[in-house]
């Protein structure tokens, strides 16, 4: 039996939000921690894992720049997406009360997102490399006056108490993940499913190339929900684009739009077509038909 088929890789320590996303999206698979994003992605490319859970952007912190540079360097495909609401928890050693705490450690972004509540409780923030690592360190050091901000999964894995749930100052903080695989797994086109198609391309060196490349989506009722640019090389001469469009490559309108995009661009690569996550139906992420 190929054990790789049952493994989903992620970056971070056990208990990280990426780990929690693996549990929510694919509870039937074993989640394996990797030190770096590239380690997780190349684990899939080598056939040692079936999937990788990779964060692309966060509603508060913005896009994960490194991922846009890494994805073109692999031969992986996007086979799904996952949106994970971030629920920061104030953690402490078993039996410790909030009144006993003096300091709290976590990733700088998590500390910033909980700054108001930390000040209310008079707790001194201490920056650390990551959230789950802070929870793990709390357990190993055994300091009753020290707490951590991490996920509920980290509390479960390291045997810590959750003193306060939803400890972040504002709700709505969400991370968008891509689920990557070695094979494309192009889904069958069905009328009752909304699909997202992700494309990578570089425009040709002609006037108004990007305008012309994307014009096909405008004239063929295409709904572009993401357009990101990034430098494709160290020379800073070639700009590449990451494009998310609502639709399936077999849709008649999409076929016309892709033909136009291909003419005015180079290196066009369909990274994947996958069902739109239900989270997209909320708020500003509503997809128009």
Q: Please provide the average confidence, as pLDDT, over all residues in the chain.
A: 92
What is the predicted pLDDT for the residue at 125?
97
d(CA 117, CA 235): 45
> Where residue 60 falls among pLDDT bands split at 50, 70, 90?
confident
pLDDT score of 285 more than 70:
no
* Band of pLDDT at residue 124, cut at 50, 70 and 90: very high
Structure confidence by residue, pLDDT tens digits, 200-248: 999 887 888 899 999 999 999 999 999 999 876 555 566 889 999 999 9
Q: Which residues are part of the catalytic machinery?
A: 175, 177
Dihedral, CA of residue 7, residue 64, residue 18 and residue 244, to nearest 10:
-70
> What per-residue confidence (pLDDT) applies to 3?
72
In angstroms, the CA 247 to CA 255 distance is 10
pLDDT at 236: 57
Rounded CA-CA distance 271/71 in Å is: 9
Strands 77-85 and 223-231: unpaired
In the predicted structure, residue 191 carries a pLDDT above the cut 60: yes
What's the confidence (pLDDT) of residue 235? 55
- The CA distance from 152 to 25, in Å, is 16
Determine whether domain 3-83+173-181 maps to CATH 3.40.109.40: no
More confident residue, 276 or 65: 276
Residue 14 has pLDDT above 60, yes or no: yes
Superfamily of domain 89-164 in the CATH hierarchy: Periplasmic binding protein-like II (3.40.190.10)
Range(s) within the chain of domains with CATH label 3.40.190.10 = 3-83+173-181, 89-164
Contacts 24+ apart (CB under 8 A), 32-37: 32/7, 32/8, 34/9, 34/10, 35/11, 36/11, 37/11, 37/64, 37/66, 37/67, 37/70
Q: Per residue in 42-57, pLDDT tens?
A: 999 999 999 999 999 9
pTM: 0.90
Tokens of 216: 């096909």
Please, which pLDDT band fits residue 286 given cuts at 50, 70 and 90? Answer: very low
pLDDT at position 215 is 95
- Homologous superfamily in CATH for domain 195-279: ACT domain (3.30.70.260)
Band of pLDDT at residue 184, cut at 50, 70 and 90: confident
Residues with Cβ within 8 Å of residue 240, at least 6 apart in sequence: 72, 200, 201, 202, 229, 230, 231, 232, 267
pLDDT value for 4:
77
Q: What pLDDT sits at residue 289?
A: 36
pLDDT of residue 62 exceeding 90, the answer is no
Using pLDDT thresholds of 50, 70 and 90, give the confidence band for residue 61.
Answer: confident
């Amino acid at each position: 039996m190929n054990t790789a088929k049952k493994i989903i890789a992620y970056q971070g320590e056990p208990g990280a939000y990426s780990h929690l996303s693996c549990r929510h999206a694919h509870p039937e698979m074993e989640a394996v921690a990797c030190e770096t994003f590239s380690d997780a992605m190349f684990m899939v490319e080598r056939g040692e894992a079936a999937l990788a859970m990779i964060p692309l952007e966060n509603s508060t912190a913005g896009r994960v720049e490194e991922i846009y540079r890494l994805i073109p360097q692999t031969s992986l495909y996007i086979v799904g997406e996952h949106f994970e609401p971030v629920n920061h928890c104030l953690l402490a050693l078993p039996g410790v009360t909030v009144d006993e705490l003096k300091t709290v450690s976590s990733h700088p972004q998590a500390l910033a997102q909980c700054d108001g509540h930390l000040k209310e409780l008079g707790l001194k923030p201490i920056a650390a490399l990551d959230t789950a690592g802070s929870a793990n360190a709390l357990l190993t050091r055994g300091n009753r006056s020290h707490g951590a901000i991490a996920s509920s999964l980290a509390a479960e894995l390291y045997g810590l108490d959750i003193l306060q749930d939803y400890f972040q100052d504002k709700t709505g903080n969400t991370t968008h993940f891509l689920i990557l695989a070695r094979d494309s797994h192009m889904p069958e086109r069905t009328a009752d499913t909304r699909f997202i198609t992700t494309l990578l391309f570089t425009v040709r060196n002609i006037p108004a190339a990007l305008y012309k490349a994307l014009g096909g989506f405008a004239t063929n009722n295409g709904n572009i929900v993401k357009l990101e640019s990034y430098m494709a090389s160290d020379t800073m001469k070639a700009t590449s684009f990451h494009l998310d469009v609502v639709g399936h490559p077999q849709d008649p309108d999409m076929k016309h739009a892709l033909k136009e995009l291909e003419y005015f661009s180079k290196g066009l690569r369909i990274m994947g077509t996958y069902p739109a996550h239900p989270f997209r139906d909320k708020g500003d992420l509503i997809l128009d038909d």
